[in-house]
Structure 1
Amino acid sequence: MPSRPAATFPLIAVLGWGATFPVLASALSRVDALNLSVARYLPATAVFVVLLLLREGRAGLRTGGRLGEVVTLGIVGFAGFNVLANLALGHAAPQQVALFVATSPLLTQLVRWARDGVRPRPALLALSLVALVGVGLVITRGRLDGLGQFGVGGLMMLLGVIGWAVYTHGAGRFAQWSPLRYTTLTALTGTAAMLAVSVAADLVGWQHAPAAADLVAVAPQLVYAVLAGSVIAVLAWNTGVRRLGAANAALFMNLVPVTTFAVQIARGYRPGGVELVGAGLTIAALVAANLVTRTRPAVVPVATRGHAAPAGTAVTDRVAVTDPVAVVAR
């Protein structure tokens, strides 16, 4: 059983992420979704760049001839997920959006099936179906005439989570890089894409550049989203993955919608019985799916056969994970 100190790290991460959805939803009343994404990730990416320079120097910023892959993953995963999540929050409640995020481990397995030909176990596919039924109960509140609520927000979030699954799967192809390097370089390209799209949207009138007063009004939300929802959460998550292994750490992702529901209830939201049943069904299915897919850590990742793993890294589930908190402490 994982030790309590080790389990603390992914717990910090998922609590931070679960509370981020209601926080960002409250900021959307003053700042448009694209501009909010840029305002969040420009400072967060700057922090990652500084950490990478301190750890690996300028060499860490080189793509090693893999610029195309980095740009693609940065746009599809990093930018795609975060922009679509913010847009979805304009059409769906935070607790609904969070449930879609909790399906990311399952979707990652499906992406692996599509790209690597590694077929998931039948039990995983069955549990995926159960999880989606649970999401449907929450969004529709058990009423057939509520199916229309899937609409634009649900589609955006589903596409965003698929993009994140592609991004997560892509990390296995960069096992010779430290996770801090992979995160930083994809964050740079993803943030650049977000900035370009946001500026274009402002110019054509799809959204409006926030006034200084708007940014001041949402400053508390931005501070939380940058520090707790981005920097601290990512560092804590990577540390937890290193100490627990990817399979054990992934179980904590199921607490994201629980946290979001708790925050919403604290803010006065009162979920109905069908919603609670749906949320419980989804979470139970996802926990079971993670248990089904749990594997032993691999000694040598497939993506780097013939290459030694970087010093100071541990290889778990085909992804090399460096402890970024230890890096900061050095």
Structure 2
Amino acid sequence: MNKFPPVVLLLIATILWGGNFVIGKAVANDLPPFTLAFFRWCVALIIFLPIIYTSLKREWPQIKKHWAIILALGFTGIAGFNTLIYISLHYTTSINASLMNMLTPVIIYMLSFLFLHERLNRNQIIGTAISFIGVITIISNGSLEALRHFRFNKGDLIVIIALVLWSVYSLLVKQYAKELPGHSTFFVSIAVGIVMLLPFYIYETLTTTMVVHWSATSIFAILYTGILASIVAFIAWNTGVVKLGTNRAGIYLNLIPVFASIFAVIFIGEKIVLSQVIGGLLVLIGVYWTGRKIAEKKQIK
């Protein structure tokens, strides 16, 4: 993938991740969430093993030193985030879920402030407030009645929990980027995530009333999420980030809901409503605002 321009690589990653939301919604009635998540990562592990095997052997001692961090990465980024997204898609639209995904940078700022004691500047506070209003607009469907009675779609609330886990995962990756090898760490995190998902998958299989429909569509969903949305997107994104830089690459994440919305309308017949457009724009403005630099030196601790 090094032959491709960084912009192309980042577009490939965001297109594939946008499709992940739509695929999850499309098979929500065919594959229970833990089943989809478990088989997705099993496929990813099998496909990734021959690619990473040589590096993994060389870097294994380095990874073992940080086993606690690896467990946390496996829980938050592999077992937790994706499974909660698939659960949420049983109750909300793929458009809503993908729009809320834009809130991730804001959550990262907030967690950095709370737990890493990083300072927040005025623009980050303003941007967080704007993004919060945008999310409220999306999950309330623009209804004041829903706000008064707090009758938000529980799928949207599950998405928020998932985004918190992903933000924790992102912070851990950032904090230990120099100490942990990227690809090998990702592979071992997948293995850890699978182990964590296994008991939930077994429990779901034994107790769910939902019948698993093994069809060409469900198999395609597992292969798509396991190969394209996991391995291909991950390698494309990381290669693009290395070439373009983290800050410049980060803005491309906001294309995920754009592609997800297009795919949702074309392939599964979802409709975009005004509250989603307004809420998504507010979140986007908020994310942009948090990234703005200010001239003044005064900051809030």
TM-score normalised by L of structure 1: 0.80
Supply the distance in 1 between the matched residues of 2:276 and 2:153 (Cα, whole angstroms): 18
Confirm or deny that 1:195 pairs with 2:198. Answer: yes
Confirm or deny that 1:179 pairs with 2:182. Answer: yes
Letter in 2 for 1:68: A
Unaligned stretches of 5+ residues in structure 2: 295-301
Which secondary structure state, in structure 2, belongs to the residue aligned with residue 119 of structure 1? Answer: coil
Please, what is the CA RMSD of the aligned residues? 2.2
Shift of 1:292: 4.3
Supply the distance in 2 between the matched residues of 1:264 and 1:57 (Cα, whole angstroms): 38
Question: 1:284 aligns to what?
Answer: 285
Confirm or deny that 1:243 pairs with 2:243. Answer: yes
Question: 1:265 aligns to what?
Answer: 265
Which stretch shows the higher mean deviation, 213-222 or 70-79? 213-222
Runs of 4+ in structure 1 off by over 6 angstroms are none
Supply the distance in 1 between the matched residues of 2:86 and 2:233 (Cα, whole angstroms): 18
Supply the distance in 2 between the matched residues of 1:57 and 1:270 (Cα, whole angstroms): 45
Q: Deviations over 1:66-104 (max 9, x none)?
A: 222211221123211011111111111111111222111
Supply the distance in 2 between the matched residues of 1:150 and 1:50 (Cα, whole angstroms): 45
Shift of 1:223: 2.2
Which secondary structure state, in structure 2, belongs to the residue aligned with residue 233 of structure 1? Answer: helix
Shift of 1:156: 1.4
Which secondary structure state, in structure 2, belongs to the residue aligned with residue 91 of structure 1? Answer: coil
Question: 1:95 aligns to what?
Answer: 95
Shift of 1:208: 5.7
> Aligned residues: percent identity?
20
Q: Deviations over 1:158-217 (max 9, x none)?
A: 1111111111111122422221022111111112111222113323x146673xx52544
Question: 1:12 aligns to what?
Answer: 12
Letter in 1 for 2:145: D
Supply the distance in 1 between the matched residues of 2:289 and 2:8 (Cα, whole angstroms): 21
Question: 1:316 aligns to what?
Answer: none
Supply the distance in 1 between the matched residues of 2:75 and 2:211 (Cα, whole angstroms): 22
Of structures 1 and 2, the one with the larger relative CO (CA 8 A, separation 6+) is: 2
Q: Deviations over 1:109-139 (max 9, x none)?
A: 2222222211222211221221121222223
Which of 159, 162, 168 is the aligned partner of 2:164?
162
1:48-59 superposed matches below 5 A: 48-54=48-54, 56-59=55-58
CA contact (8 A) 2:139 2:153 kept: no
Supply the distance in 2 between the matched residues of 1:67 and 1:95 (Cα, whole angstroms): 36
Supply the distance in 2 between the matched residues of 1:269 and 1:164 (Cα, whole angstroms): 26
Question: 2:38 aligns to what?
Answer: 38
TM-score normalised by L of structure 2: 0.87
Supply the distance in 1 between the matched residues of 2:71 and 2:139 (Cα, whole angstroms): 34
Question: 1:328 aligns to what?
Answer: none
1:120-131 superposed matches below 5 A: 120-131=120-131
CA contact (8 A) 2:6 2:241 kept: no
Letter in 2 for 1:140: S
Shift of 1:272: 2.6
Question: 2:113 aligns to what?
Answer: 113
CA contact (8 A) 1:136 1:278 kept: yes
